[in-house]
Amino acid sequence: MTEEYERTLAAVHELMAARSNGSQVSVTRPNPDTLHFIVERKAMRSVADGLFNQLQARFLISVGTDKRPLSGTFGILHVFSFDRAQLYVLVESLIPEDDPRIDSITPVAPGADWAEREFQDAVGVRPEGHPDPRRLLLPDEWPEGVHPLRRDFPYNFQPPPAKNLRPVMRDAPAGATVLPMGPFFPVLEEPAYWRLFVEGETIVGCDNRLFYNHRGIEKLGDSALTYGEIPFLAERICGICGFIHSTCYCQAVEKAAGIEAPRRARYIRTIMLELERIHSHLLWLGIAGHIIGFETVLMQTWRIREPVMWLCEAISGNRKAYGMNTVGGLRRDLPSDIHPQLLKTLADVEKEVIAVRDAILGDSILRARTEGVGVLTKESARSVCVVGPPARASGVAIDARIDHPYAAYDEVRPRIVTQEAGDTWARVVVRVGELVESIRLVREALSAIPEGPICAETKEEIPPDKVGVSVVEAPRGEAVHFVMTGGDNRPYRWRVRAPTYANLQALPAAVMHGTIADVPITLGSLDPCFSCTERLETVDRRTRTVRTYSSAELLEMSRGKGPSGGVR
Partner 1 sequence: MTHELAKALLPCLLNVAIALLLSPLYEGILRKVRAAIHSRIGPPITQPYWDLLKLLGKEDLRSAGGAAYASLPPLTLGSLLLLATLTPMGAAAPLSFAGDMIVVLYVAAMSAVLIMLCGFASGSPYAYVGSSREMMMALSVEPILAIALTVGAFKAGSLALGSMTAFQAHNGPSISMAIAGFAFFLALQAQAGKLPFDIAEADQEIMGGPLVEQSGPRLAFLKWAMWTKQLVLAFLLVEVFLPWPRFGALPIDLLISSIKALVVLLLVAVVDVVNPRLRIDQAMGYFMRVGLASLSALAFAVIGK
> Which residues are near partner 1 by CB under 8 A?
177-180, 185-187, 201, 289-297, 299-300, 303, 363, 365-366, 368-369, 515-520, 559-560, 568
Residues in CB range of 551: below 8 A, 6 or more apart = 534, 535
Cβ nearer to partner 1, comparing 269 with 427: 427
Shortest distance, position 81 Cβ to partner 1, whole Å: 36
Q: 81 or 300: whose CB is closer to partner 1? A: 300
Least Å from the CB of residue 418 to partner 1 = 25
Of 125, 104, 442, 51, nearest to 277 by C-alpha is 442
Measured from the CB atom, the residue of 160 and 200 that comes closer to partner 1 is 200
Which of 26, 153, 151 is CA-nearest to residue 93?
26
Residues 59, 50 contacting (CB under 8 angstroms): no
Q: Which is nearer to partner 1, 284 or 294 (CB)?
A: 294
What's the closest the beta carbon of residue 440 comes to partner 1, in angstroms? 26
C-alpha–C-alpha distance, residues 288 and 43, integer Å: 45
Cβ-based nearer residue to partner 1, 37 or 284 = 284
Least separation in angstroms between residue 403's CB and partner 1 is 35
CA gap 64, 78 in Å, rounded:
9
Smallest gap from residue 292 Cβ to partner 1 (A): 4
Beta carbons of 463 and 440 less than 8 angstroms apart = no
- Name the residue nearer to partner 1 (CB basis): 97 or 358: 358
Q: Kindly state the smallest distance separating residue 318's Cβ from partner 1, in Å.
A: 25
Distance CA 511, CA 529 (A): 19
Closest CA to 407 of 277, 506, 287, 283: 277
Taking the least distance from each CB to partner 1, the nearer of 279 and 404 is 279
Q: Which residue, 290 or 476, is less far from partner 1 as judged by CB?
A: 290
Contact 417, 389 (CB under 8 A): no
The whole-angstrom separation of Cα 265 and Cα 522 is 37
Query: What's the CA gap between 515 and 373, in Å, rounded?
Result: 9
Rg (CA), the chain: 24
Centroid of chain to Cα 290: 23
Q: Which residues contact 36 (CB under 8 A, 6 or more apart)?
A: 27, 28, 29, 30, 90, 92, 467
- Min CB(364)–partner 1 separation in Å: 10
Q: Which C-beta is closer to partner 1: that of 115 or that of 373?
A: 373
User: Between the CA of residue 59 and those of 52, 142, 193, 413, what are the distances in Å?
Assistant: 7, 29, 26, 25
Nearest distance in Å: CB 520, partner 1: 5
CB of 370 to partner 1, least distance (A): 9
